Amino acid sequence: MKLVMKFGGSSVGDGDRIKRVAKIVHEQVNQGDKVAIIASALVGVTDDLLKASDEAKRGNIEYIHDFIHQTKKRHVDAVSKAIKNQLLKEEVMSFVKNTIEELEKVFTGIAYLGELTPKSLDYVLSFGERLSTPILCYSLRDIGLEADHFSGKDVGIVTDANYGEARPLMSLTKYQVRQRLEPMLDKGAIPVVTGYIAVTQEGFITTLGRGGSDYSATIIGASLGVDEVWIWTDVDGMMTTDPKIVPSAKTIPELSFQEAIEMAVFGAKGLHPRALEPAMEEGIPVRIRNTFNPTNLGTLIVNKQKIKAGEVVKAVSLIKSVSLINVSGAGMVGAPGTAAKVFEVLGRNNVNVLMISQSASEANISFIIKRNQLGKAISALEIAMLGQGIVREITSEERASIVAIVGAGMKGTPGVATRVFGAVAKKGINIVMISQGSSEVNISFAVREEDGEDAVRAIHEEFGLDG
C-alpha cells in the first residue's frame, strides 16, 4: 500500500513520543508499505510562536531571549531522547541550533521594526514544523530506515499569496510534489515533510491556516495518488458523541466525506473541512488513528457512503457557548431585503452566523452566533434596524446550545424528525429553534444551555449509537 501518514502535535510532543511515532512508521514499512510522513510542530510550539511574535512586535527583547532559550532546550531535549546514535544526534543537533539561530534573528528584526506583517508571521510560524521534522526524520534513520526531511517549500507546495490562509495551486503542486517525492518512495525511502507550510511562486513562505497539517497531508496524498491518508492524532477517531457527555460513546468505523464534513463543522476534534477537500476530490480515503492506541483502526472516511439498513443517525454533537438572537416585527412580513440587511449588518461586524431559521410568516428571523459576539451583534442590529418601522424588537437568549445530528441515512428516511424531537420531548426539554438543510444529512436544533447534554444523551440513546 502507498500511504501518507500525518502526525499531529501531540503525537510528536517530545522525544519519547517521537520514538513511538518512529516505531509506528517502522512497522508499516516492514509490511512492505511505501510511506510519506507529514509532521506537525511539537505540541504547543505554534501557539508559543504566535505569542512570541506579538511580544516581539512590542519590542519585548527580554521575552524573546527567554523564549529562544526555552525553545532551544525543548528541541534539544527531544533530540537527546529520540535519537541514540551519536553521529546522527550531532548532525540533527547542529541543524536544530542553526534553525533556532535564524529564528532569533527574525524575532530581533521584528522587535526593532515593531512590525509584524501576515507575511513575516507566516515565516515565523513555519519554524515549528521546520524544527520538528528533522528530529522525526533522524529518529527514523536512528532505527535503520532511509529517510530525508523537507519543508513544504522544498517539495513544491505552491500557494497564492493569501498569507495565514493560503490556498494551493493544486495542479502545479501535484506535478511538483510527484516529481520530487515519487522517486524516493519508489526506492523505499521515507520523505518526512513539514505540515502547514507552503510557498508562493515568488518563494515566500506561506501557511495553510485552518486545517493546517491535515491539509498538507491530503494535498501530498492527492499528489502522490496514495491508497489512504492516515491522520494520526490523540483520539481513536470520530466518535458518536463526546464521551464526556455519554461515557459509552463509540468510535465510528466508517463515514462518508459529507458526513465527516458536517461533523467537523460541528466541532468534531481534529479535522477541518478544508483539509478533506483534496482527498475527497481524488476519492482517497482518509483514516483517523490514535498514536497512543495504534491497534485501533480508527475511523475511515470514504467517498461512497454505504448505508446499512437501520443506520439512520451516525453522530450527535453539542455546540456550547452560543446565543440565540430573534429579530421580529410585523412590518417584516413581505418586506423584501430585511433578511439581507440583518445578515449584512452581522457580516460587517465580523459576526459569524452558525444557524438560521425563519418562519414562513416572515414575522421573525432567528439565528445563532457565538456567545462572545452577542453584545456586539445586538448593538449593531439595534443601531441599524430599530426605529425604521420594520423591525420592532431584537431579543436574545444568551445561554443556548446547538445539538447537531449527522447521518447520511436520514436522507429519504421518513420519521427521523419525529424520533429526534420525540426523544427530546420525553425528557421535558424545550426546543427553541430548529433547522434542517435540504441535504438531509444534518438536523440541528437549539436548546437552553442547561438542557444541552440531556438532549444529546436522549438522542444517542434513541438511535442506539452506543451499540
Residues within the interface to other proteins (CB under 8 A): 335, 337-338, 341, 344-345, 375-376, 379-380, 382-388, 390, 398
Tell the smallest beta-carbon distance from residue 63 to other proteins (Å): 21
Rounded to whole angstroms, the Cα distance separating 339 from 343 reads: 6
Angle formed at CA 60 by CA 54 and CA 66, multiple of 5 degrees: 95
Rounded to 10 deg, the angle between the 118-142 and 45-57 helix axes is 150
Report the nearest approach of other proteins to the CB of residue 341 (Å). 5
Helices 15-30 + 61-82 axis angle, to 10: 40
Q: Which is nearer to other proteins, 109 or 347 (CB)?
A: 347
Rounded least distance, CB 383 to other proteins, Å: 5
Cβ atoms within 10 Å, residue 446:
29
Minimum separation from the CB atom of position 351 to other proteins (A): 12
Question: Of 297 and 380, which has the nearer Cβ to other proteins?
Answer: 380
**What's the closest the beta carbon of residue 62 comes to other proteins, in angstroms?**
23
CB of 363 to other proteins, least distance (A): 15
Query: Which cell numbers hold the place of 372?
Result: 462572545
**CA triple 324-373-457, angle to 5 deg:** 45
Around 97, how many Cα atoms within 13 Å sit in the side-chain half-sphere? Answer: 7
Closer by beta carbon to other proteins, 88 or else 380: 380
Task: Determine the length of the chain.
Answer: 467
Is residue 171 helix, strand or coil? Answer: helix
Q: At CA 196, angle to CA 194 and CA 199, rounded to 5?
A: 85
DSSP-assigned letter for residue 449? G
Q: For the chain, first and last CA: distance in Å? A: 31
Instruction: Give the residue with the Cβ less far from other proteins, 341 or 448.
Output: 341
Minimum distance, C-beta of residue 452 to other proteins, in the bound complex (Å)? 21
Q: How far apart are CB 114 and other proteins at their closest, in Å? A: 17
DSSP line for 360-390? TT-SEEEEEEEGGGHHHHHHHHHHHHTTSSS
Half-sphere exposure of 453 (CA within 13 A, CB side): 7
Q: How far apart are CA 52 and CA 408, in angstroms?
A: 44
